[in-house]
Amino acid sequence: MNQIWELVGPDGEPYGSAVPGTLGGHRRNRIYGRLDCPAALRAIARGGYVPHRVFFLTEEHARAAGYRPCAICLPLAYARWKAQQGDGSGSRPVPAGRRRLSGRAVQERPGE
């Protein structure tokens, strides 16, 4: 009997694969890394990571699906990714219509 693994494709959608994923990721944090990543293994041991775990066939699939490299287990890929970020902060872009004031996000009012 052949085993089928559920992977996330470049479009961000899950699909069945006869080949296991080579990288793991966290759906909520949009981060991917090696399957033996020490940070991921610690999170898995705590139990909070597993429900949000996803797998990718390649690094290209992970990046195309909108995930960033892990700074712990993929430091060179992370450094390249961070250098490509426009503001250099490495944070996710703030959605349109939102801005920061006094350290908290507020909704912009029409006409501002």
Closest CA to 72 of 46, 44, 33: 33
Confidence class of residue 100 from pLDDT cuts 50, 70 and 90?
Answer: very low
Q: What is the pLDDT of residue 89?
A: 54
What distance lies between CA 11 and its chain's CA centroid? 13
Confidence class of residue 1 from pLDDT cuts 50, 70 and 90?
Answer: low
Read off the pLDDT of residues 44-68 as tens digits, 9 standing for 90 and up: 999 878 889 999 999 999 999 999 9
CA dist 8 and 10 (Å) reads: 7
Q: Is residue 91 over pLDDT 70? A: no
Q: What is the pLDDT of residue 86?
A: 73
Confidence class of residue 98 from pLDDT cuts 50, 70 and 90?
Answer: very low
Q: What is the pLDDT of residue 101?
A: 46
Q: What is the pLDDT of residue 49?
A: 83
Mean of pLDDT over the chain: 83
